[in-house]
Structure 1
Amino acid sequence: MNEGTRIKFYSENGKYGEFSNFAQFPIKLKGKLWKTTEHYFQAQKFSGSEYANKIRKAISPMKAAELGRTRKVKIRPNWDNMKDNVMYEALKAKFTQHKELQELLLSTEDKILVEHTENDSYWGDGGNGQGKNRLGKLLMKLRTELK
């Protein structure tokens, strides 16, 4: 597959940075306002707890991620089985609550969306294309659903 059929994104300040979970687009979900999809996603690991509320109120998506990655606080026992669904729920809220984002996502047509980063081989491509790219795949699934 040639590079012209791929759209790589990562930094919220880069091209297609709006696709990043750190991009500053608040979402309303579960009766609450979340500063970013990262805030929502990380908090769901600790759903219903005071710690989840601390993550929701975190000053930045980076801080929310840092708080969510701790293992000093016990995460939900079934998290690994539900994290993709939680991410999809967050993405769906983001891309339906912000029309300009929905238009941007739809403008990518049938291109392959890739979160390009060495920092993550589950949500991203691992930097070398060997990662699972789950974020890119969920965005493409949502794009198909929105068409």
Structure 2
Amino acid sequence: MTIHFYAADEVPYGCFSNFSDHGFDLDGAWWPTSEHYFQAQKFKGNRHADLIRRARTPLRAAELGRDSSKPLRRDWERVKDDVMRRAVVTKFRAHADIRDTLLSTGEEKIVEDTTTDHYWGRGRTGNGKNMLGRILVRTRNQLHAELTAALHGGSRRPRR
């Protein structure tokens, strides 16, 4: 089975959306959503980044982040996946309820069900890279490993 998600208000998997209302602290600032964080990182270190962080909605943050009149940081294409990974893992570590939802998906494939984004989602043809879905699966595996280690005392065996 495959889990599909898209809109932030869909139950139970809307929390997988970058527009979901699950803020977090990262890099010394409060981010209302992972969309705010992701879009602002395109302009890290300048005033436009803070304008995005303070946007009233994730949609507005996305619009500001896609403003083609503002130059992206030079290394954006190289770092964007890592930026998304940091945002997603931080969001799910900060909120036990959505962490539980993510962990409850077991070994299922997770797909962002959008026809308009071939990179982050499944894309129009259904054969998109689904990078957000892949990052969610990686985050799920990482959180599962952390939880397992914590339950087993770091899973270290005593020396003999």
Please say whether Structure 1 and Structure 2 have the same fold, judged by a TM-score greater than 0.5: yes
Deviation digits for residues 26-76 of structure 1 (CA, Å, limit 9, x no counterpart): 111001001100000000000010000000000100000000011101110
Percent identity for Structure 1 against Structure 2: 45
Q: Could you tell me whether the CA contact under 8 Å between 2:8 and 2:19 is conserved in 1? A: yes
Secondary structure of 1:7's match?
strand
User: Unaligned regions of 5+ residues in structure 1, if any?
Assistant: none
Q: Which amino acid aligns with 2:33?
A: T
**Residue 34 of structure 2 corresponds to residue 37 of structure 1:** yes
Give the TM-score normalised by the residue count of structure 1: 0.95
Give the TM-score normalised by the residue count of structure 2: 0.88
Alignment: residue pair count: 143
Matches within 5 A, 1:91-106: 91-106=88-103
Deviation at 1:128, TM superposition (A): 3.3
Deviation digits for residues 115-143 of structure 1 (CA, Å, limit 9, x no counterpart): 00112110000143211000000000011
Q: Could you tell me whether the CA contact under 8 Å between 2:3 and 2:110 is conserved in 1? A: yes
1:137 is matched with 134
1:49 to 35, 46, 51: 46
1:14 is matched with 10
User: Unaligned regions of 5+ residues in structure 2, if any?
Assistant: 145-160
Q: Which amino acid aligns with 1:50?
A: R
Q: Could you tell me whether the CA contact under 8 Å between 2:115 and 2:126 is conserved in 1? A: no
4+ residue runs over 2 A deviation: none
Q: What is the CA RMSD across the aligned residues, in angstroms?
A: 0.7
Distance 1:68 1:123 in 2: 15
Q: Which amino acid aligns with 1:121?
A: H
